[in-house]
Amino acid sequence: MVATTIANKDWASLIREMTLEEKCSLLAGADFWRTTAIERLGIPSLKMSDGPNGARGENFFGGKTSACFPASVSLAATWDPGLVQAIGHALADDTKTKGARLLLGPTVCPHRQPLGGRNFESFSEDPFLAGSLATKYIKGLQSNGIGAVIKHYAANEQETLRNTIDVRVSERALRELYLRPFEMAITEAKPLGVMTAYNSVNGDHADMNEFLLKKVLREEWGFIGLVMSDWGGTNSLVESLNAGLDLEMPGPPTHRTLKAVQEALESGRLAMETLDSRVATNLECLARTGCFGKTLSSSEEQAVDLPEHRALIRKAGSNGIVLLKNRGNVLPLEPANYRSIALLGLAKEYLGHGGGSAAVNSHHKVTPFDALHEALGDSCELKYAEGTRIWRSLPVLSSGVTTREGQPGFDVEITFGNSTPNKSIVSPVSALRFTELRNIAAVVMAGVYKPAESGAHYLSFTIFGEATISIDSEVVLQTENSRDLMGTLLGAADAVQVQHNFIAGKEYHIQISAKAGDASDSGISVLGNSYLGFSLGLAHQQEYEADLLSSAVDAARTSDIAIVFTGHTPEWETEGVDRDTFALPKNGSQDKLVKAVAAANPNTVVVNCTGSPISMPWVSDVAAILQAWFPGQEAGHSIADVLLGKVNPGGKLPTTFPRELDNCAAAANFPGNVQNRVVHYEEGVFVGYRHHDRFPDGVLFPFGFGLSYTTFSIDDASVEISTQVLTSAESTITVRVSVHNSGQVSGSEVVQIYVQYLDHNPAIQRPIKELCGFGKVELDPGQLGWMEQTVASRALAYWNDGKKLWSVDAGNYALHIGTSSTFIHAVKRFSVPTAFDLPVCRV
């Protein structure tokens, strides 16, 4: 078990033995994933790994396989804290197989707007739900010996200009929404680490923001753990050290060099006491993660595929699936009633995770088609048709290409700076990524291509930098200086596209001459001032322009039921890039597919795998809709279990699905003013259902909503509340709710508790209601069960900007007991006799 304190550790004595150089070495990473060891003093290194839905290990692309757990939004849709804690415990097992002691997760920043590229990696639009589940995640992880690093602190709700954007937000909104999940998890679960965000908050970078790091995190919340930067997210030397940033990642350091520290000490801008305090915190982290005197079972990264992990992932994935519509009870499928089922769209895609830091090389990549074929065997015919293709860029060129020596692949000549010699490598594909190139000037990639088919081919190209692509010395494509660093790095950049004619069997000399782009304003200083990454893709015209829709419609028309799988691949929903449209990719083709299939077959089911809400222009056309999120490596099994009724869907939406993007509170100010690099959170505390409660016509599916294959009943008489006299922080309300499974199959219901202040306070605008408790009840047919929750007086409070405290107003309140934010079964009133304030939390 990870200890919360370490006794008998005399860090002051150990620090006195260190040279200044040794102290500096502990303030930044040694490399991309490790801290620095000091052998002379017996100080070990600590390794860490991404997170948060799988321990990827040190290789960003490829590497050893790992268990891929459901994305956090999928876990949030379970509304099951116990299950989330079990996931955390299992994640610790996998982290150990990668030789790491810290897992970089969970991500808890609330969903501010559906286009946020990283929403899937976080839990919810609601801070209470996010904080409750993050607390259990951390407890599960740390009870199994691995430290959690909660992230990204704070106000990191967008990827557009995420490294340099300045978030302007009121203290009240910051406290009530954006800091709340951090506060809950940090004070209740005590994670070993906190990772700062790239962005600025109200003018100060998060890594050197004294309000966030000193006043709130350390003084108010009593955090004693390690504060580290996001990768390349350290923006200063003195300011970050003084604010409380303990560790610059990754290494070698950009800011915390020996020379820079010496100069800061000599000038008096940095005190040795501050330096020693940061060193002591790093030593404490080594101790709390068990690094001193111990080693993990193996220094080599391992791929350990445990059957209990597979079962847990499958269960969690299915439990997070939300049944949004089920006209005529078309679900669950009864295979005996069907001779044929059409599986269309992304049925053969593995949609287990999003892109970026949350992506892992999964042990298993189970597609819906494979899972349904495994489950159904030959009991009915499965007809597959792709229906549409959603390539963001074309597949990279690999087959049919040889080097000048006749090897498969491309010759690559790399030019570095003047002090570094050139380097020659062979690349198997027509792409290079950042893991292969750092601080370079230019690259020339060349290969001989023998096409298998004659005719026109499409070529697509993405780059950070600039390039010329030539075929047989003729320039066919030339790019200007592209500045989409994160899009290129993560495979999500928009491609430049041209056509070229090829003759089958003829040799064509393809050459890419590329120059690095300027990354100095990217905020990712670890990449230096230059970076070069690119991808050349190719597809034959007949394949690219094939009529995929007709075959899908034919399959649907000649089948008893049609299931269309829609969603986002990791290239379309990823860290580093916000979505540019509320619609499914690409260019309306998935929406067109669903509408055409629904017109051909009235029994059309849509299974959507996205991490955020999407527009659903076909919602009235289809019989059933499942929102499956990104359910992890067993994605296909989890989806098939729900489709076939092996699992009764009990998931509930952790985020509101609006009808249109304009119905969202932040629609007018997301992603902000990109020229000035400022985003104003003008909507204040009215985010998600807090906004939609005021404008309900804009809601397609409300927060907390989800159907079941059975029915449940809650009546007003079955709700009991008991209160102490609500006069202090210790006051509580106990809520007991009876739930009856009135249907024919076993299932689960999530009872949600929302609090409302009924009296008008002209000094402050408050949401109509706010989530303050929830509980999941599993019941057999006909069974009556109880859900009991304790609601703390903090749930009644708002942040009082004038007093800089949490305040509870006197007056009348109500608890709304429901199964979504709009489906309320009972309302119970109570009163607070006199106003009182709550102290800021100190642990």
Q: Which of 533, 518, 530 is nearest to 467 (CA)?
A: 533
- Dig out the tokens for 446 from the structure: 């060349």
Question: Which run of H or of E encompasses 50?
Answer: strand 48-50
Give the integer Cα–Cα distance in Å for 837 and 797.
8
CA triple 254-256-260, angle to 5 deg: 100
Contact 799, 767 (CB under 8 A): no
Q: Is 641 a catalytic residue?
A: no
Give, in order, the Cα–Cα distances in Å from 583 to each of 96, 568, 572, 766: 40, 11, 11, 32
> What residues have CB less than 8 Å from 474, skipping those under 6 apart?
none
Task: Read off φ and ψ for residue 712, nearest 5 degrees.
Answer: -130, 150
- Dig out the tokens for 304 from the structure: 């350990």
Contact 411, 403 (CB under 8 A): yes
Contact 406, 412 (CB under 8 A): no
Q: How far is CA 590 from the centre of its chain?
A: 23
Q: What is the chain's Cα-based Rg?
A: 28
Give the integer Cα–Cα distance in Å for 206 and 197.
6
- Dig out the tokens for 416 from the structure: 């570095």
Residue 463, SS3? strand
Task: Read off φ and ψ for residue 293, nearest 5 degrees.
Answer: 75, 5
Query: Strand 508-518 vs strand 496-502: parallel, antiparallel, or unpaired?
Result: unpaired
Query: Strand 561-567 vs strand 340-345: parallel, antiparallel, or unpaired?
Result: parallel
Strand order in the sheet with 805-808: 798-800, 805-808, 836-838
Residue 626, SS3? strand
Contact 107, 152 (CB under 8 A): yes
Catalytic residue among 94, 166, 230, 411: 230
Maximum Cα–Cα distance across the chain: 88
Active site residues: 230
